[in-house]
Amino acid sequence: MTAPAPMLPRVPSYAALRDGFHWDLPDRLNMAAQVCDDWADAAPDRVAIVELADGRRDVTYARLRVMADALAHALVARGVNRGDRVGVLRSQDAWCAAAHVAIWKIGAISIPLFKLFRHEALASRLGDAGADRVVTDADGVAMLDGLDGVAALVPENETLPGGRFETAVTGPEDPAVLIYTSGTTGSPKGALHGHRMLTGHLPGVEMSHDFLGRPDDCLWTPADWAWIGGLFDVLMPGLAIGVPVVAARMARFDVDDCLKIVRQGAVRNIFFPPTALRMLKAADAGIDGLRSVASGGEPLGPEMLSWGRDAFGLTINEFYGQTECNMVASSCGALFDPRPGCIGRPAPGFELAVLDGDGCPLGGNTEGDVAIHRGPASMMLEYWHKPEATAAKFRGDWMLTGDRGVWEGGFLRFMGREDDVITTAGYRVGPAEIEDCLLQHPAVATVGVVGKPDSLRTEIVKAYVVPKPGETPSGTLAETLQDFVRDRLSAYAYPREIAFLDDLPMTVTGKVIRKDLKARAAREATGEAP
């Protein structure tokens, strides 16, 4: 069998790259074959994953298939069938990759879950998905304790059956992954993706790494594999292209640990969230020997791009996308110079537009709604069991991103979010989920949560709380509320600042006017009076 190859030809110009591209999706497509089986057949001894837990351990494609097949047998023995939803609650390690592969082999749907989630965050996602099986580790078992009807499977503790598992016959549109994304109202929504999802990511990923797939390439990201940025911007594309992916656990980003991982793993290609880049810059820490650095989630700006050239000896390639349709635009230093303040040009296979209020595409230098035309392979199938929300995501044939942008000479400039989603340290946090959590505390009468500008994290989560009668605002109460959210929701989305107010700005229908609170937070960030 011929080994898989990158999707993009190494052409000399961006125009040639775009003009010569078209989606070529076969009738039969399963991501388990793309990231594991095909390589295990063609080059079984090729290194797939480099684990850096206790020393270095190279996991070949043949070994990854053995792990995934054994886990697939175990899941089927526990009643998992085609179409069932199965959670994956593990950090960066080979079993995390094998878990997704095993679920896809069955024809089931994997749900990435973050190890920093707490009880309510896990309960809401698993409950909405109707998932009662989770592949996890020893720490995850404790996290799942108390979730009625949810059974944990820890591969390390199992006597797993051997033998090949026949991968289910699936097509591009068959559901494969359910990724929950934060919003401004209600619980997080599950973006359901088909087996074409990985193919849809490859053009933008290859472009953002200056044609990923060259000899000696080796990928790593400090982003958790529970997020689309870690799972489908790094892990799965690397496995599909045949580029080794480093798995290294980091409880939180640390500059010294980062440098150690790069050195031990012989890393050549990195996806750095902007916050990680800012921490490296603050520590004056450069990295030699890299071939590509990609970044996404928010614009970097001219100063950071300039620093990157000095620190890495290359141009940081910014990319853009979202959970519902990812890797839609990118820079590519191998083809064109970046435009500071912009987030790249449309990736091959993607048609982007900036729309006016009537849904008509705008020309250059006019701000509007950033939208993606139907058709690319990384576009979601739907929001899980939310037909109205799915319909609202589209305006005709255009998927609305919720972002505002401007065209500048073929480059897309990001102007800001239309909604109140908070971007903090690379994570997208929905204020509604935090507000709902805080409202469960007996001291809280009402609350509004917004993002406050922050030089390191982009934004921090700030909660404005009106206490119930008889409750006295204090630093102790603020710490109690922070712990309340941290223990129940997640360790990254808790409010780093809490302010107590007598009342909140409200509409006549009783809704908190977040834009007024955001303006207040912005004034506080600059030292102005509230």
The pLDDT tens digits of the residues spanning 202-253 come to 999 999 999 999 999 999 999 999 999 999 999 999 999 999 999 998 878 8
DSSP-assigned letters across all residues of 473-515: P-HHHHHHHHHHHHHHTBSSSS-SEEEE-S---B-TTS-B-HH
Q: How far apart are CA 190 and CA 483, in angstroms?
A: 27
Q: Is residue 32 part of a domain?
A: no
Using CB atoms within 10 A of its CB, is residue 43 exposed (0-12), middle (13-18) or buried (19+)?
middle
Helices 61-77 & 94-106, crossing angle to 10 degrees? 60
Full residue range of the structural domain in which residue 190 is found: 58-194
Q: What is the CATH number of the domain that holds 432?
A: 3.30.300.30
* Strand spans (E) along 103-164: 109-112, 133-136, 151-153
Closest CA to 197 of 83, 390, 326, 319: 326
Q: How far apart are CA 463 and CA 484, in angstroms?
A: 13
Q: What is the pTM of this model?
A: 0.86
Label residues 304-317 b or e (16+ Cβ within 10 Å = b): bbebbeebbeebbb
Q: How many distinct structural domains can be found in the chain?
A: 2
Question: How many alpha carbons fall within 13 Å on the CB side of residue 16?
Answer: 8
Label residues 54-86 b or e (16+ Cβ within 10 Å = b): eeeeebbbbbbbbbbbbbbbbbbeeebeeebbb
Domain boundary among 145, 178, 194: 194
> Can you give the pLDDT at residue 183?
59
Q: Is residue 507 part of a domain?
A: yes
The amino acid present at 402, given as its one-letter code, is G
In Å, the largest CA–CA distance within the chain is: 73
Q: What is the pLDDT along the chain (530 residues), one digit of tens a residue?
A: 677 889 999 999 999 999 989 999 999 999 999 999 999 999 999 999 999 988 899 999 999 999 999 999 999 999 999 999 999 999 999 999 999 999 999 999 999 999 989 999 999 999 999 999 999 999 999 999 999 999 999 999 988 898 999 999 999 999 999 999 875 556 789 999 999 999 999 999 999 999 999 999 999 999 999 999 999 999 999 999 999 999 998 878 899 999 999 999 999 999 998 888 888 998 999 999 999 999 987 778 788 899 999 999 999 999 999 999 999 999 999 999 998 878 899 999 999 999 999 999 998 888 899 999 999 999 999 999 999 999 999 999 999 998 888 999 999 988 777 767 788 887 878 787 788 789 889 999 888 999 999 988 889 999 999 999 999 999 999 999 999 999 998 888 899 999 999 988 876 545 678 889 999 999 999 887 67
Domain boundary among 194, 225, 250: 194
DSSP-assigned letters across all residues of 215-227: TT--EE-SS-TTS
Backbone phi, psi, residue 478, to 5°: -60, -45
User: HEC string of 251-269?
Assistant: CCCCHHHHHHHHHHHCCCE
Q: Is residue 86 part of a domain?
A: yes
Q: How far apart are CA 45 and CA 130, in angstroms?
A: 38
Q: What is the CATH number of the domain that holds 70?
A: 3.40.50.980
Q: Is residue 304 part of a domain?
A: no
**Residue 77 Cα distances to 86, 132, 310, 316, angstroms:** 14, 14, 54, 47
Q: Is residue 477 part of a domain?
A: yes
Domain boundary among 167, 194, 221: 194
Q: Which residues are registered as beta bridge partners of 427? A: 424
Q: What is the pLDDT of residues 265-282, one digit of tens each?
A: 999 999 998 888 888 998
